[in-house]
Structure 1
Amino acid sequence: MKLLAIDCAANLCAACVYDAAAKRELGRSVLDLGKGHAEHLMAVIGEALQEAATDYAGLDAIAVSVGPGSFTGLRVGVSTARGLALALKIPAIGVTTLEALAADAASAFRGRAVLAALDAGREEIHAALYDETSVLTYGPSVITLAEAVAVATEHSAVLAGTAAASIAAVAGPGFDLGPRTATADIVTYARLAAAKGAGERPKPLYLRGADAKPQAGFILSRQRD
């Protein structure tokens, strides 16, 4: 089975083609954009397909990062994945950024619990805890730094994600750090999706509402007939 994995959850606009039977990445394309995923995603996908020497007809599933992450980036990635899956009549499979980061950390620290934690601003952290067998045991949730420290300490967890260093600084010495990025390697999403198989259609994981909201003073009242 060949999967196309795409990730627009954070700064990267990334795609890869993965052969699940051979457990081998066939091709990838990654841009570090910050913004502008919508303008570049289809070209990035095209480059990954070209490097893998395949096309859309050769795909059996679409994997996509569903967040938490950039509000706009998630909408771009998930809507593209669902659109391609519908057109190609193949499943779309969602993978959270937290489980992907935890998987990357677990590959380096086998047999350890992992706390994947992303700095969400406003002194908040998006976090999820995975046990020694990579099973989700807590979250995804919005928590404070103090709560993250408590969870990490209780489980002697490896720390991963953009909030990992902040948690370690408060928790004290002795904590191992995995990737401290906002998203995982693109092939990790493909591997996790292949292991999951088809399920519910993916949708963005928003742990809190969008920062940009209409100002009340500019909302027009509905006119009566």
Structure 2
Amino acid sequence: MALSRIPLKLYLKSLKPILFLVAFTSILNIFYGTGEPLWQWGVLRITANGLITCVFVAVRIVALILASSVLTFTTSPTQLTDAIERLLKPLSKVHVPIHEFAMMMTIALRFVPTLLEETDKIMAAQKARGADMESGGLTQRIRALVPVLIPLFVSAFRRAYDLATAMESRCYHGGDGRTKMKTLRFGRNDWMVILVSLVILAGFVALNLVLPAVGRI
């Protein structure tokens, strides 16, 4: 994160949508852990293993989201496509269309923030028309999302059609005969990321040996 030179507030903003998921999984792991209870009230109990599991699950979810944010903030679609293509290059020996597969994955990843932004716009428009999406029971909230999902699907298909038209107008026909403007090469930052990742992995392995409960997470 420090090497990316991206403001910290952007990373914190990316964590906001998953705070409910982190809290929900943490509560489940706290009250349904195994071992001797530290506190118990009826069927609810808190154990040492439950607390350890809670912390590690929360850290893993946050680390996954932060890693995804670093990738999307610092990597262009072209670089991402080239990286996935190089990763899957051995499959080309068995005639797997790796370039098309890499392009498909890249487009899917880049469409996620676009769809989230479109969802916010549609929800804001529905609320401006008097739609209530935050009150009522679970069934009522699900029904309130129907006016959001239909225009969202229409917008997604329209964007996909526009993208396909743009690619065809640029004579895109897959990876055959394509050249790269910039060839990816390992640099100092790449080696530093690998080193830090190995250190973190070694730390988790050590904790797994010291705290056996972590291995069951």
Using structure 2 for the length normalisation, give the TM-score.
0.21
Which protein has the bigger strand share? Answer: 1
Point out which structure has higher relative CO (alpha carbons under 8 A, 6+ apart).
1
Indicate the structure (1 or 2) with the bigger Cα radius of gyration: 2
Higher normalized helix content (fraction of residues)? 2
Output the TM-score relative to the length of structure 1.
0.20
